[in-house]
Amino acid sequence: MPSDRPGANLPPLSLYVPEPRFRPGDTVDFTEVVLPPAGQARRPDTAEPAHAFTDLAYDLVRVLDTDGQAVGPWNPRLSPDTLRDMLRSMVTVRAFDERMFRAQRQGKTSFYMKCTGEEAVAVSAAFALDRDDMCFPSYRQQGLLVARGWSLVDMMNQIYSNKGDRLQGKQLPIMYSVRDASFFSISGNLTTQYPQAVGWAMASAAKGDTRIAAAWCGEGSTAEGDFHSACTFASVYRAPVIFNVVNNQWAISSFSGFAGAEATTFAARAIGYGIAGLRVDGNDALAVYAATAWAAERARTNQGPTLIEHFTYRVEGHSTSDDPGQYRSAGEASAWPLGDPVTRLKDHLIAIDEWDEDRHIAQDKEIAEMVRAAQKEAEANGILGHGLHQPLDTLFDGVFEEMPWHLREQQAQMIAEETASGRPWARK
Partner 1 sequence: MNMIQAINSAMDVMMDRDPAVIVMGEDVGYFGGVFRATAGLQAKYGKTRVFDTPITECGIIGVAVGMGAYGLRPVPEIQFADYIYPALDQLVSEAARLRYRSAGEFIAPITVRSPFGGGIFGGQTHSQSPEGIFTHVSGIKTVIPSTPYDAKGLLIAAIEDNDPTLFFEPKRIYNGPFDGHWDRPTQNWSQHPAGAVPEGYYKIPLGKANVVREGEALTILVYGTMVHVASAVIADAGVDAEIIDLRTLVPLDIETIEASVKKTGRCMIIHEATRTGGFGAELSALVQERCFYHLEAPIERVTGFDTPYPHSLEWAYFPGPVRIGEALKKVMKD
Ligand X SMILES: Cc1ncc(C[n+]2csc(CCOP(=O)(O)OP(=O)(O)O)c2C)c(N)n1
Instruction: For residue 245, give the H/E element and its range.
Output: strand 241-247
Among the listed ranges 95-103, 256-264, 354-362, 371-379, the one in contact with a second copy (CB under 8 A) is 256-264
Amino acid at 270: A
Maximum Cα interatomic distance, the chain, rounded to a whole number of Å: 78
What beta strand segments (E) does 248-324 contain? 250-251, 254-255, 276-281, 306-311
Q: For 41, what's the count of Cα atoms within 13 Å in the CB-facing half-sphere? A: 27
CB-based contacts of 290, cutoff 8 Å, min separation 6? 43, 61, 63, 74, 75, 76, 128
Please choose which of ligand X, a second copy, partner 1, none residue 13 contacts, taking the beta carbon within 5 to 8 angstroms, the exact cut-off set by kind.
a second copy
191 binds Mg ion (CB under 5 A): no
Q: How many CB atoms lie within 10 A of CB 150?
A: 18
Q: Would you give the DSSP letter of residue 408?
A: H
User: Is residue 265 at the binding interface for Mg ion, with CB under 5 A as the rule?
Assistant: no
Stretch binding partner 1 (CB under 8 A), from 33-41, 331-339, 362-370, 391-399: 391-399
Q: Considering only 27-35, 62-70, 159-167, 263-271, which stretch makes contact with a second copy by CB under 8 A?
A: 263-271
197 near partner 1, rule: CB under 8 A:
yes
Q: Based on CB atoms, which residue is closest to partner 1, 343 or 421?
A: 421
Least distance between ligand X and beta carbon 219 (Å): 5
Q: Does 40 bind a second copy (CB under 8 A)?
A: no
Nearest residue to 130 (alpha-carbon basis) of 67, 220, 212: 212
Sequence-separated (6 or more) residues with CB below 8 Å from residue 194: 136, 215, 217, 226, 227, 229, 230, 231, 243
Of 64-83, binders to a second copy (CB under 8 A) are none
Q: What is the distance between the alpha carbons of residues 128 and 287, in angstroms, rounded to a whole number?
A: 11
Q: Which of the choices partner 1, ligand X, a second copy, none does residue 248 contact, using the CB cut-off of 5 to 8 A by kind?
A: ligand X
Listed ranges 57-65, 85-93, 255-263, 372-380: which one lies at the site for partner 1 (CB under 8 A): 255-263
Q: Which is nearer to a second copy, 32 or 358 (CB)?
A: 32
Binding to partner 1, residues 92-111 (CB under 8 A)? 110-111
Residue 196's binding partner among ligand X, a second copy, partner 1, none (Cβ under 5 to 8 angstroms by kind) is partner 1
Measured CA to CA in angstroms, residue 40 lies from 43, 72, 220, 295, 351 at distances of 9, 6, 28, 19, 20
For residue 369, the Cα-to-chain-centroid distance in whole angstroms is 25
Site for ligand X (CB under 6 A): which residue of 75, 104, 193, 221? Answer: 221
Q: Which of residues 326-385 bind partner 1 (CB under 8 A)?
A: 326-327, 384
User: Which span (236-244, 338-346, 392-400, 407-415) binds a second copy, by CB under 8 A?
Assistant: 236-244
List binders of a second copy among 297-316 (CB under 8 A): 300-302, 304
How many residues touch ligand X (CB under 6 A)? 16
Q: Within a 10 A sphere around the Cβ of 126, how many other Cβ atoms?
A: 27
Which region, judged by CB under 8 A, interacts with a second copy, from 3-11, 88-96, 311-319, 321-329?
3-11
Among 70, 129, 54, 131, residue whose Cα is nearest residue 297: 129
Q: Which residues bind Mg ion (CB under 5 A)?
A: 218-220, 248, 251
Site residues (vs a second copy, CB under 8 A): 1-2, 5-8, 10-18, 50-51, 130, 132, 202, 204-212, 222-229, 232, 235-240, 257-260, 262-264, 268-275, 300-302, 304
